[in-house]
């Protein structure tokens, strides 16, 4: 009887056992298949991002630059956890652009509004990101750019630089360019510091705080001596501003004088510094002006030329030194270097190029 019962139970159970085994086998096959698919996807994704071009970027500075960030991603970037991004370019609009702007902002490249509009500001931010990260800086957010941008391999924009640090004044000229994304630390609105001692071409003009405070002391002294009025024409200028100014000038020459781009660029260089090569990027330079007059003909200029040295400023571009500076006389342009340096430069009669060279030999 027990035997019989066992036998009959076993007999009844056998189809279920068979179905269960079948299910287990099917599940195992599914799991293995999915794993294989996954491995293939990972391989494909990695294969798509392997060609990271690191050698395509041409160095902009001629001499070694202490602020230059070396873009050297050592391993291929981790693919973005999002679906394959579409190409974004000037004129693109929408949520993908918004997402791009947020990421560029997080990394310190973008300071405009998150409006989903791929305008000049977004393009410049993409270009700077590309340069610093060793990509071809075309300003187009293609798949490679977006993959790197959204990965944790993305290098952030370099932080603000203390431009008054160190024993040697910061030298900026056509042979000593500042890197893309360069930004001086401690910028303030000049008007907030100097106030009503002068008028301003732009109320939002900025400069490094210490330079703005020295400017205030200097203008106050001039006014006390009876030399006024003064106007601030220009102070800090970003590298993006300089790019815009330079390109406008090139386009103007191409339109007006029917020049090729290369010819127009060469001509623009005679009057506008290349982006990165203007002293105005340092936040330490000011263009002063007397409304309605050529500054070089004014009593204010004569006062400035005599006294600026005692307030930490130098007359940066004079005709006498133009063969060294490469720039013809600009009576209106003063540069803050600190009073210790400015007095020494006056006594030695050195322009900044000569002085920096001299300091390095000391
Ligand atoms: Zn200037």
C-alpha of residue 234 to centroid of ligand 1, in Å? 7
Distance 317 CA to ligand 1 centre (A): 9
Secondary element (H or E) of residue 333: strand 330-336
Cα(331) to ligand 1 centroid in Å equals 9
Centroid of ligand 1 to alpha carbon of 202 (angstroms)? 15
CA of 217 to the centre of ligand 1 (A): 20
**In what helix (H) or strand (E) does residue 330 lie, and over which residues does it extend?**
strand 330-336
Residue 27: what pLDDT? 53
Q: Say which of 330, 340, 353, 357 is annotated catalytic.
A: 330
Residue 111: predicted pLDDT: 87
pTM above 0.75, yes or no: no
Tally DSSP H helices, then E strands, for the chain. 12, 7
Confidence at residue 214, expressed as pLDDT on a 0 to 100 scale:
98
Distance 209 CA to ligand 1 centre (A): 18
Model pLDDT, residue 60? 39
The per-residue pLDDT for 21 is: 55
**Burial zone of 101 (CB within 10 Å; 0-12 exposed, 13-18 middle, 19+ buried):** buried
Q: And the tokens for 45?
A: 């994704």
Question: Over the range 76-99, which residues count as b (16 or more CB within 10 Å of their CB) and which as e?
Answer: bbebbeeeebeebeeebeeebbeb
How much is the pLDDT for 269?
Answer: 87
Structure tokens at 153: 């391999």
Q: Is 354 a catalytic residue?
A: no
User: Which pLDDT belongs to residue 59?
Assistant: 39
pLDDT per residue as tens, the chain (362 positions): 344 444 444 445 555 655 555 555 555 555 444 454 444 443 333 333 333 333 333 333 334 344 444 444 455 554 444 556 789 999 999 999 999 999 999 999 998 999 999 998 999 899 999 999 999 999 999 999 999 999 999 999 888 999 999 999 999 999 999 987 789 999 999 999 999 999 999 999 999 999 999 999 999 999 999 999 999 999 999 888 888 899 999 999 999 999 999 999 999 987 788 999 999 999 999 999 999 999 999 999 999 999 999 999 999 999 999 999 988 899 999 999 999 999 999 999 999 999 999 999 99
């Amino acid at each position: 009887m027990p035997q019989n019962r066992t036998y009959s139970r076993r007999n009844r159970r056998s189809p279920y056992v068979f179905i269960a085994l079948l299910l287990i086998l099917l599940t195992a096959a599914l799991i293995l298949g999915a794993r294989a698919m996954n491995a293939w996807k990972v391989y494909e994704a990695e294969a798509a991002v392997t060609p990271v071009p690191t050698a395509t970027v041409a160095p902009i500075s001629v001499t070694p630059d202490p602020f230059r960030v070396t873009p050297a991603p050592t391993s291929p970037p981790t693919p973005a956890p999002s679906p394959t991004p579409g190409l974004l370019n000037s004129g693109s609009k929408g949520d993908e652009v918004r997402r791009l702007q947020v990421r560029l902002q997080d990394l310190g490249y973008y300071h405009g509004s998150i409006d989903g509009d791929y305008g000049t500001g977004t393009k410049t931010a993409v270009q700077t990101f590309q340069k610093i990260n060793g990509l071809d800086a075309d300003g187009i957010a293609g798949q490679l750019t977006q993959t790197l941008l959204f990965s944790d391999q993305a290098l952030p924009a370099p932080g603000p630089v203390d431009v008054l640090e160190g024993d040697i004044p910061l030298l900026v000229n056509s042979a000593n360019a500042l890197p893309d994304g360069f930004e001086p630390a401690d910028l303030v609105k000049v008007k907030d510091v100097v106030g009503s001692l002068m008028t301003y071409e732009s109320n939002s003009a900025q400069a490094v705080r210490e330079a703005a405070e020295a400017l205030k002391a200097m203008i106050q002294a001039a006014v006390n001596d009876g030399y006024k009025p003064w106007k601030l024409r220009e102070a800090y200028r970003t590298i993006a501003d300089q790019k815009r100014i330079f390109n406008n000038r090139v386009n103007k020459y191409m339109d007006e004088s029917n020049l090729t781009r290369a010819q127009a660029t060469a001509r623009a260089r005679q009057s506008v510094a290349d982006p990165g090569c203007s002293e105005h990027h340092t936040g330490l330079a000011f263009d002063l002006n007397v409304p309605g007059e050529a500054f070089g003909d004014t009593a204010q200029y004569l006062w400035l030329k005599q006294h600026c040295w005692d307030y930490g400023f130098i007359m940066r571009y004079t005709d006498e030194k133009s063969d060294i500076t490469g720039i013809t006389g600009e009576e209106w342009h003063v540069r803050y270097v600190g009073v210790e340096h400015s007095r020494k430069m006056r006594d030695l009669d050195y322009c900044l190029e000569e002085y920096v060279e001299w300091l390095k030999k000391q």
